[in-house]
Chain A
Amino acid sequence: MAELIKAKEPFRFFTRLHLSELTGLRASTLGELLSLIKKVPGSVIYHHTHRFLQQHQYLSPEPPNDFAYWVTQELGEEELGEELASIDVVQFSTIRALREKIAKTIERYLEQNRFAKLKFSRQSEGFHFVKSVSFVLPTKYVACDLAEFIEILNKITIDSIYFHIFEARLRLEKATNDFSNWIEESIGDKELAEEISKLDPYTYTLEDLRKAIAVIIARSI
């Protein structure tokens, strides 16, 4: 086995814990949903498109986002629900762009389905807008080479994987995920970095994502 490359800079694993902040804003119709999606803070859009990943991580891949779930389950608009659930979130590098895509999808659907405007959810089943507040903390785990990296990757919380893959890229608007960035910059393995950044993390459960990344890295050392 070739000698492992020592990283120029060690990788410090962080974790991200979140608290849900209520906004008091509520939608009962698609029109209200659209109007509020356009004006709520980005942290609200982030919450409703990513909450499922952490709260339902044991489920099958491709969990629906909250907007998709609500329009399907509460308003019975399955076609729109499918469109919203299949928005390719990984293509968006900012929350702003993601918000525009969601809003446009609903707008177009409303134009084509005028009766959809007339549907109300039951009072208790309105869409309640919630904001995600993130707390980012350094963990004690530091990797100096890829072997150490895999060892830590296998034992850290899924919150940590979530932070470095999802939050770093979309919410903190970094060009790629933290793992790929470190592997390229500090280990100097561009090919491996790209292989990880090519994964569509939204189609894995977080546990499966952990395994997939570990397998890719293990193959390279």
Chain B
Amino acid sequence: MVRIEEYIPIVGQAIIDDLRLLGEKLKGKVIQNINSTSVGGGVAEILNRMVPLLMELSVEARWDIIKGGEQFFEITKKFHNALHGKPENITKNDFDIFLEASRKNIEELDTKGDIVFVHDPQPIALIKKKTSNKWIWRCHVDISNPNKRLWQFLMNFIVDYDSAVFSAPSFSQTLPIRQFLIPPSIDPLSDKNKELAPDIIETVLEKYNITKDKPIITQISRFDRLKDPLGVIEAYAQVKKYINCQLILAGGGATDDPEGVKVLEEVKEKAKQFKDVHILLLPQNDIEVNALQRVSSVIIQKSLKEGFGLTVAEALWKAKPVVASNVGGIPLQIKHKFSGLLCHSIDGAAFALKQFLNSPEYAKKLGENGREHIRNNFLITRHIKDYMLLFLSLYHPEDVVYL
């Protein structure tokens, strides 16, 4: 297990001292996290790493999981899609099943923490159990354009919380409770982000038959239409006319996703027209993803829609020049021409790729700026600090708080 001291060489002693200072202020408070799964998904990933670190900082953090059958999770998956703005037919029966499963959890789950920290919509109805303790609803989903009927249903619960938390300013809604902006983070010590020895990178390149004789453009993401892999190939084709480079499209998610399989086939078909395109299916292989990012000349993330897009933070943390779409949480990570290049189209992406490949000094500078931006704003230590401040804010309604 990673210890808090291990982050000192990355963020500095003073940042860790600040975390300890905040931990002292929360001593004695029990923070009870509640979500719907202990494995898989970004929420479980972050809680797995964060709960032990909070404990080390003297914060009594706990983690409970609600129960729900197959039907319940099918419905909450529908909720998830509908909150993202995808058309979904949510019926009265769906709401009834959700409420019935919630009722059982309300009966069975002990919610006696001083602060109950509820993650995402699945456990949202537990708020009906609120007593004099403090409750926070943490929404990890992009709700900038939610299904209105579902949002109204969820509002029945949200209004009873003390505070809500969103990942990007564009996700905020008009609410009668306080709402805070806390973006997600990456862990610099995880397999996906830690430094890699050159021989590990070489092994990965050999495995996939990739050579370093020409510049590498890489997009890491699921084979999903919203990640626009076909658009990436088109942008690459425009660049390839002028610069002899190669393209890597790597990611997982195709095996259990019928649409993903179809998208992957289309991508493979389109890639046949071009030389030097590597399509790699590598689900859940963090070290390989890390190696491919590190060996790339430019990273692209040409998503059409994005929750937060932490692959951008991962690339910037490796000081890579990044070309990315101006969607979701990406503009929080990249300020155009300061820490990367933002684009809105295939042509724009191609132009930005050419700029980086033809101006290595410019690319290097923006990559370095990007790494510092991630160091200051998107590492797990900042995330822990924000959560501790959030917990303290529940006891301090003022704008300037003296602790």
Contacts and interface: CB of A to CB of B under 8 A. Distances in A.
B302 to A, nearest CB: 16
A19 B389 contact: yes
Interface in A22-76: 22-24, 41, 43, 54-59, 69, 73
A20 interface: yes
A132 B389 CA distance: 12
B206 to A, nearest CB: 36
Contacts of A15: 18, 21
A157 B15 contact: yes
B181 A156 contact: no
Contacts of A4: none
A21 B179 contact: yes
Interface in A96-147: 124-126, 128, 130-137, 139
Interface residues of B, number: 44
B358 interface: no
A133 B180 CA distance: 10
A159 interface: yes
A85 to B, nearest CB: 13
A211 interface: no
Contacts of B326: 124-125
A134 B399 contact: yes
A137 B403 contact: yes
B308 interface: no
B172 interface: yes
A36 B54 CA distance: 38
B144 interface: yes
A171 interface: yes
Given A130-B181, A134-B401, A22 B389 contact: no
A17 interface: yes
B133 interface: no
B170 A41 contact: no
A175 interface: no
A21 B166 CA distance: 10
B379 to A, nearest CB: 13
B169 A22 contact: yes
Given A55-B377, A128-B170, A157-B15, A24 B179 contact: yes
Q: Pick the 6 closest A-B CB pairs, nearest first.
A: A128-B169, A22-B172, A58-B372, A20-B181, A157-B14, A24-B174
